[in-house]
Amino acid sequence: MGATLLQKVWDLHTVRKLPNGQTQLFIGLHLIHEVTTPQAFDMLRARGLGVRFPNRTVATVDHIVPTRDQRRPFLDVMAEDMLSALERNCREAGVRLYDLSSGVQGIVHVIGPELGLTQPGMTIACGDSHTSTHGAFGAVAFGIGTSQVRDVLASQCLALDPLKVRRIRVTGRLGRGVYAKDVILEIIRRLGVKGGVGYAYEYAGDAIARMSMDERMTICNMSIEGGARVGYVNPDQTTFDYLRGRRFAPQGEAFDAACEWWRGIASDPDATYDDEVLIDAASIRPTVTWGINPGQSVYVDESLPSPESLAGSDRAAVGEALEFMGFKPGSRIQGTKIDVAFVGSCTNSRLSDLREAAKIVRGRHVAPHVRAMVVPGSQPVRAAAEREGLDRVFIDAGFDWRGAGCSMCLAMNPDKLEGREVCASSSNRNFKGRQGSPTGRTLLMSPAMVAAAAVAGEVVDVRELPEYGD
Amino acid sequence: MAIEKVRQVAGAALPLRGDNIDTDRIIPARFLKSITFEGLQDHLFEDDSQQLQAQGRKHPTADPRFEGATILLVNVNFGCGSSREHAPQAIRRSGIRAIVGESFSEIFFGNSVALGMPCVSADHATLDGLMGLVESEPSTQLVVDLDRMVVAAGTQMFPITLPAAAREAFLDGSWDATGLLLDRFDEVEQVASRLPYLQWS
């Protein structure tokens, strides 16, 4: 009987079964950033422990960096303290840090793949729930907390429970104006925000197979929003083509040998799954969230739900969300006025995302009442976009063109919503207060939909733009 | 680390109703801007609390009737979203020692294990009953018992569940995994030596 990628990678990295029944799993790549690590390094010091595999941990700075004025010291003293702590900790432990002067700094989930650090068959951990992004390469990648960061630094291992695997096959062609972002929002809406608890999601089917690495990363990135700590795509030629020539990818003959090994790590055709779900790509339409979790979404041409039509806790949840958002039951999401447009985050800040947004923006202008910003996921994304002149397209249209970082996705930096502002956002979470204002409101959507909303000043259906006509 | 076994948590409870309460609500991101976990408890549910206060209502964590609680009662998918350990840290630093809920996000659950704070599950009817009981009688003493796998309120007992490995970790005091993971380091090095990708870089 065949095995899944998850099973193969898990077995390969298993050190031993612990007395309590958990698995001691070796972590092949540990990515760190400034927010969830200073306490971990302090715990190590308090216990007199060192970092055992310093060359398997790689650091960057992303959450707290200002995206406008990145000169040091940062104006925000706390932000400066956090980066200084990271610098000190990395220096003492001998861990590589890609900082603002490196030319490759950016959101940790953007730069790992960009540098070729992220590879098929690895176990990857990072103190950030969107670590599932790296699963796009056929790695088993997941978010951890700070005590677990301590454990990985100390031992390069974690104590974990095994996961079940749910295969989600997306088959058929996506319609015009429908993106990877819409696919993952559809999956979360259908399976629920806790449907994936206890599972790794294996994304498969011809629609996934046709996707670029950027698109696969968007899908895997939001696995956690569906409750699945791990999401992955089996590695294939698209994966190998992306990795070839990257800084930390194997080079020359070693690369060909690696491809052989990577092919073998993919799920076998006769692998068995704990659950299977089939999604028809053609049925998916551009999707927008209307509520306070990523499962609360509708197609752009649908109406919002009414609590009256629901029972029990669903009724309470929908009622609470509508109240917070200030939306009427049964109203349309299309036409909702926005105040802010944000293209960025580890979900959608890669070059292809910026290109899609730029296509819509070119020759148009941001609505007068909207403040709009584009925040590239990394310094290399920013540089590549500038080589193509995308920065001019955005700036001419009235967007701010910023430095790389997490920016307004979670607002641990100066980029924040104010008051009750409504933000059309290409990020991943629409939780209450997520974008920095406790009463701010987030509508998640694809970068193209954000760009279209920025121009119109309200939520629109990208399919109605002439670019998407037949 | 000294071994600290967690067999039982007893005390008053704090009922917190609602499904899918995410870690951004438990501790908003702006309070993560610090290089320590100290003082996080002062900002636990800060935004939720202030919004309720503006409506003339009280968040349970700001309600003096539940002050001193050691057991938190929650509903479905508690702690979803961000992996920030700051969330269970803030809860634990506020005095909570165990959480009883319908279900938990996996990362939150794991982070809580690493702090020695069990997150045990019970069904909806049990949680609804316990929350109602505590809301009407805040001095009610509950006992979360990992030996017998029950939550007790007076003479009433309700079954709870907890994955076997986590239960073992609390009972034998191995929830702080660092020591265990370093125990047989030669085996760790053996695994490292057989991973092809470690030879490529």
Residue with tokens 């009610």: B140
Q: Is pLDDT at B1 greater than 60 in this prediction?
A: no
What CATH number does domain B8-200 carry, 3.30.70.141, 3.20.19.10, 3.30.450.40, 3.40.50.150? 3.20.19.10
Hey, what amino acid is at B92?
R
What CATH number has the domain spanning A5-265? 3.30.499.10
Query: From the candidates B38, B115, B162, B178, which should be mutated to test the interface with A, based on the most A CB atoms within 10 A?
Result: B178
Asked if A359 and A447 count as a contact pair (C-beta separation under 8 A), the reply is no
Residues 339-378 of A with CB under 8 A from B: none
Q: Do B197 and A121 touch (CB under 8 A)?
A: yes
**Domain ranges (residues) in chain B:** 8-200
Q: Give me the count of residues in chain B.
A: 201
Nearest alpha carbon to residue A39 among A117, A146, A139: A146
For B95, the 3-state DSSP assignment is coil
Query: From the candidates A164, A253, A431, A437, which should be mutated to test the interface with B, based on the most B CB atoms within 10 A?
Result: A431
Is the backbone of residue B69 left (phi > 0), alpha (psi -120 to 50) or beta?
beta
Asked if A217 and A109 count as a contact pair (C-beta separation under 8 A), the reply is yes
- Adjacency order of strands within the sheet including A14-17: A14-17, A23-26, A157-160
A145 contacts on B by Cβ (under 8 Å): 83-85, 88, 107, 110-111, 114
A240 contacts on B by Cβ (under 8 Å): none
B34 contacts on A by Cβ (under 8 Å): 78, 82
Query: Which regions of chain A are under pLDDT 70?
Result: 470
With an 8 Å Cβ cutoff, is B59 touching chain A?
A: no
Report CA-CA distances (Å) from A361 to A114, A365, A388, B92, B124.
26, 7, 15, 48, 49
Across A311-339, b (16+ Cβ under 10 Å) vs e yields eebeebbbbbbbebbebeeeebbbebebb
φ/ψ of A416, rounded to 5, equals -145, 155
Residue with tokens 């999601």: A201
DSSP letter string, A317-363: HHHHHHHHHTPPTT-BSTT-B-SEEEE-TTTS-SHHHHHHHHHHHTT
Asked if A120 and A139 count as a contact pair (C-beta separation under 8 A), the reply is yes
Please name the residues in contact with B10: beta carbons below 8 A apart, sequence gap of 6 or more: B70, B141, B142, B143, B144
With an 8 Å Cβ cutoff, is A79 touching chain B?
A: yes
Give percent above pLDDT 70 in chain B: 99
Tokens of A156: 């390069």
Nearest residue on chain B to A83, alpha-carbon basis = B35
Distance CA A283, CA A264 (A): 33
Q: Is pLDDT at B2 greater than 70 in this prediction?
A: no
With an 8 Å Cβ cutoff, is A159 touching chain B?
A: yes
Nearest residue on chain A to B183, alpha-carbon basis = A155
Q: What residues form DSSP beta bridges with A287? A: A299
Nearest by CB to residue A24, choosing from B30, B86, B181, is B181
Tokens of A425: 């956002």
* pLDDT score of A48: 97
Asked if B24 and A435 count as a contact pair (C-beta separation under 8 A), the reply is no
pLDDT, one tens digit per residue, over A166-184 is 999 999 999 999 999 999 9
* pLDDT score of A248: 97
Residue with tokens 């020759």: A363
Distance CA A281, CA A464 (A): 19
Nearest residue on chain B to A132, alpha-carbon basis = B83
The H or E element containing residue B110 is helix B106-114
CB neighbours of residue A48 within 10 Å: 6
Q: Which CATH architecture has domain A287-468?
A: 2-Layer Sandwich (3.30)
Q: Do B83 and A36 touch (CB under 8 A)?
A: yes
Hey, what amino acid is at B158?
F
Residue with tokens 């900790």: A89
Distance CA A172, CA A261 (A): 29
Q: Is pLDDT at B3 greater than 80 in this prediction?
A: no
Please count the residue pairs, one from chain A and one from chain B, whose beta carbons lie less than 8 angstroms apart: 218
Does this model's pTM top 0.95? My answer is yes
Nearest residue on chain A to B172, alpha-carbon basis = A20
Nearest residue on chain B to A117, alpha-carbon basis = B201
Residue with tokens 């941990």: A57
Nearest by CB to residue A22, choosing from B18, B83, B165, is B165
Asked if A185 and A295 count as a contact pair (C-beta separation under 8 A), the reply is no
Nearest by CB to residue A39, choosing from B30, B36, B106, is B36
Burial of B2 (0-12, 13-18, 19+ CB in 10 A): exposed
Query: From the candidates B181, B183, B190, which should be mutated to test the interface with A, based on the most A CB atoms within 10 A?
Result: B181
Asked if B58 and B2 count as a contact pair (C-beta separation under 8 A), the reply is no
Please name the residues in contact with A392: beta carbons below 8 A apart, sequence gap of 6 or more: none
The single-letter DSSP state of residue A225 is G
Query: From the candidates B5, B26, B80, B112, which should be mutated to test the interface with A, based on the most A CB atoms within 10 A?
Result: B80
A200 contacts on B by Cβ (under 8 Å): none
Residue B77's Cα: distance from chain center in Å? Answer: 12
Distance CA A187, CA A203 (A): 10
* pLDDT score of A164: 98
Give percent above pLDDT 90 in chain B: 97
Torsion of CA B143, B44, A84, A132, to 10 degrees: 70
Q: Do B20 and A194 touch (CB under 8 A)?
A: yes
Respond yes or no on whether the N-terminal peptide bond of residue A438 is cis (omega within 30° of 0). no
Q: Do A21 and B188 touch (CB under 8 A)?
A: no
* pLDDT score of A314: 86
Hey, what amino acid is at B139?
S
Distance CA B143, CA B146 (A): 10
The alpha-carbon gap from A100 to the nearest alpha carbon of chain B, in Å, equals 19
With an 8 Å Cβ cutoff, is B33 touching chain A?
A: yes
Delimit the CATH 3.30.499.10 region(s) of chain A.
5-265, 287-468
B1 contacts on A by Cβ (under 8 Å): 47
pLDDT, one tens digit per residue, over A436-464 is 999 999 999 999 999 999 999 999 999 99
Tokens of A355: 């290109």
Residues 197-226 of A with CB under 8 A from B: 197-198, 224-225
A434 contacts on B by Cβ (under 8 Å): 24, 29
